[in-house]
Amino acid sequence: MSDDQIVRIEASGVLNEFDYCITFDDEVGEGRLAVIYAENGRGKTNLLRAISFLLTPTMESIETLIEVPVQHIAIQFASGGVISMVREDAFRGSLRLKVSSIPSVVFQDDESSAEMFGLEEEAELIEREFTVEASDFAGRLYRRALEDRREFLEYMNLAARQSSGALFIGDTRLAVPVGEEVSSESIGRSISRRPRSMVSRLLEQAERTLSRAAFEGLKRDSSGQGVYVDIAKRTLLARSGPSISNTDAYESMVEQISRIERSGALHENYGLISLRQVRGISQLLSTARRNGANNATLHSILNPFLVNIESQIETLYPAVRQIDTFVAGVNKFLERKELVYSTNGGIELRDGAARLLDPDSLSSGERHLLALMCHAVISTASAPLMIIDEPEISLGLDWQRMLLAELLNVTADSQVKILAASHSVQVMGVVPHNKIIQPTEVGGEIDAVSDGR
């Protein structure tokens, strides 16, 4: 498990009444999942918001955090670092924020930042804390004074290094943020232009995430640059002709091409590679003799090209797997329509007759489902904690039972943790008992995470 991964979250005094203890015990499968299940009025949403704000060290998040009715939260990372908040009463009073980190983890060869904190080489732990009041945000001058405080700056810097952030998905997840109702493309055009919906925006972001992953895979694969060099080298260094028999060369080419066609089918389906030339070669070989006189020579020429194609397929496989998991996962839910992806067309929705669909024409449940699946894809780019309040909103019973498993599938190759809060028995029905978190009354027995209190 990487050092910046969250392993435990302890919260006490939620609404001054309830305690929660959340653990993530693995990077894979259900170990990345925790689901809070509690009745209304137990502070689930407030807890999720507080966790999100605490993991996102910005002026705005701290200003909002101080209004959330929680007494204490401590978030522990795999490195041993902790980010915490504490105050005497959930509804009032000053808020003390603290971060404890391991210098060798958060600085990693960043000597300038380490010097800024005045660290000694042998330092085993660095801690920074500051206390903030609601009055610190009373106006611009107060906020500016807060920004100038050294303890505030050091806390923000260290917390940002320790935390990978959080993605909070609330019950208004389909609402377009105020001020963003009109797309940038419509500025200066007719005011009657229909604004882009949140689902359309999320589909575009998911498309960029998937395309970026594919592009990074192509950048990593530089072997194609050496194909012709390899061919020239083989030809120039050849002494007494090919070292492989014509029959063996034929069988080797046929086997290699068959392997490429099998392993590269999904890659080609999503437009990441083209196997047109490979299929053309295969067709020519199908009419050739197994022991043809030129097979060995042809093998020496084609092998570098085929090896390069196989290298591309292998390098792009993680991106293809993520694309296919997302596309197949969404299509498990949809009926009489489907989501398709290609590098040329991006993400598109089509009906049973292959006609293009506007995301806004989908049902409420379909739009909520797409929003959650897109958020899952987007979160893989930075591996944060994905926090979902009431994932069951607008989903039918079958979809509720399927949802969490598909979110785990979409994020399977990343280290994204999923923390959800739900009222749904259907959602809970597929969650292992040890991954269901229920509150205890304040003062109930709970293992403590040390945060220096």
Domain assignment of residue 110, yes or no: yes
Looking at the fold, whether 313 and 419 belong to one and the same domain comes out as: no
> Collapsing DSSP states into helix, strand and coil, what is residue 156?
helix
Question: Please, which residues have CB within 8 angstroms of residue 417's CB and are 6 or more apart in sequence?
Answer: 5, 6, 24, 32, 33, 34, 385, 386
Looking at the fold, whether 309 and 226 belong to one and the same domain comes out as: yes
Q: pLDDT per residue over 217-250, tens digit each?
A: 776 655 445 665 666 666 666 655 567 899 999 9
* Domain span at 246: 221-319
Looking at the fold, whether 54 and 158 belong to one and the same domain comes out as: yes
Looking at the fold, whether 413 and 269 belong to one and the same domain comes out as: no
Looking at the fold, whether 23 and 111 belong to one and the same domain comes out as: yes
What is the length of the chain? 453
In the prediction, which pLDDT does 4 show? 78
What CA–CA distance (Å, rounded) separates 307 from 218?
15
Provide the number of structural domains found in the chain: 2
The more confidently predicted of residues 187 and 241 is: 241
Q: Which of 300, 319, 338 is the last residue of a domain?
A: 319
Q: Label residues 136-156 b or e (16+ Cβ within 10 Å = b).
A: bbeeeeeeeebeeeeebebbb
Q: Determine if the pTM surpasses 0.95.
A: no
Domain assignment of residue 339, yes or no: no
What CA–CA distance (Å, rounded) separates 405 from 177?
29
Q: pLDDT per residue over 89-113, tens digit each?
A: 999 999 999 999 987 655 555 555 5
Residue owning tokens 């046929």: 254
Looking at the fold, whether 406 and 315 belong to one and the same domain comes out as: no
In the prediction, which pLDDT does 79 show? 87
CA distances from 282 to 244, 296, 305, 313 (A): 20, 16, 14, 18
The more confidently predicted of residues 112 and 251 is: 251
Question: Please, which residues have CB within 8 angstroms of residue 181's CB and are 6 or more apart in sequence?
Answer: 195
Looking at the fold, whether 80 and 161 belong to one and the same domain comes out as: yes
Percentage of residues in the chain having pLDDT higher than 90: 67
Report the relative pairing of strands 337-342 and 166-169 from DSSP bridges.
Answer: unpaired
Q: Are 8 and 22 in contact (CB under 8 A)?
A: yes
Domain assignment of residue 192, yes or no: no
For range 141-156, the mean pLDDT = 90
Predicted confidence (pLDDT) at residue 307 exceeds the cutoff of 60? yes
Looking at the fold, whether 10 and 133 belong to one and the same domain comes out as: yes
Which of 9-13, 164-168, 226-230, 403-407 bottoms out in mean pLDDT, i.e. has the lowest? 226-230
Q: Which of 304, 319, 334 is the last residue of a domain?
A: 319
Domain assignment of residue 203, yes or no: no
Looking at the fold, whether 24 and 154 belong to one and the same domain comes out as: yes
Residue 278 — pLDDT band, cuts 50, 70, 90? very high
Looking at the fold, whether 235 and 153 belong to one and the same domain comes out as: no
Q: pLDDT per residue over 349-393, tens digit each?
A: 999 999 999 999 999 999 999 999 999 999 998 878 999 999 999
Q: Are 112 and 81 in contact (CB under 8 A)?
A: no
Percentage of residues in the chain having pLDDT higher than 70: 83
What CA–CA distance (Å, rounded) separates 253 from 303?
8
Predicted confidence (pLDDT) at residue 453 exceeds the cutoff of 60? no
Q: Which of 283, 302, 319 is the last residue of a domain?
A: 319
Looking at the fold, whether 155 and 228 belong to one and the same domain comes out as: no
Looking at the fold, whether 10 and 113 belong to one and the same domain comes out as: yes
In the prediction, which pLDDT does 442 show? 82
Q: What is the mean pLDDT of the chain?
A: 87
Phi and psi torsions of 86, nearest 5°: -155, 145
In the prediction, which pLDDT does 234 show? 66
Number of other CB atoms surrounding residue 176 within 10 Å: 17
Domain assignment of residue 12, yes or no: yes
What's the first-to-final CA gap in the chain, in angstroms? 27
What CA–CA distance (Å, rounded) separates 347 from 375?
14
Phi and psi torsions of 433, nearest 5°: -55, -40
Domain assignment of residue 259, yes or no: yes
> How far is C-alpha 345 from the geometric centre of its chain's CA atoms?
22
Instruction: Take residue 92 and report the two structure tokens written for it.
Output: 């009032």
> Collapsing DSSP states into helix, strand and coil, what is residue 304?
helix
Domain assignment of residue 51, yes or no: yes
Q: Spell out where 254-369 has E strands.
A: 337-342, 346-351
Residue 214 — pLDDT band, cuts 50, 70, 90? confident
For range 430-435, the mean pLDDT = 88
Amino acid sitting at position 133: E
The upper half-sphere exposure of residue 291, i.e. CA atoms within 13 Å in the direction of its Cβ, equals: 0
Domain assignment of residue 188, yes or no: no
Q: pLDDT per residue over 3-62, tens digit each?
A: 678 999 999 999 999 999 999 987 667 889 999 998 899 999 999 999 999 999 999 999
Residue owning tokens 């047109």: 276
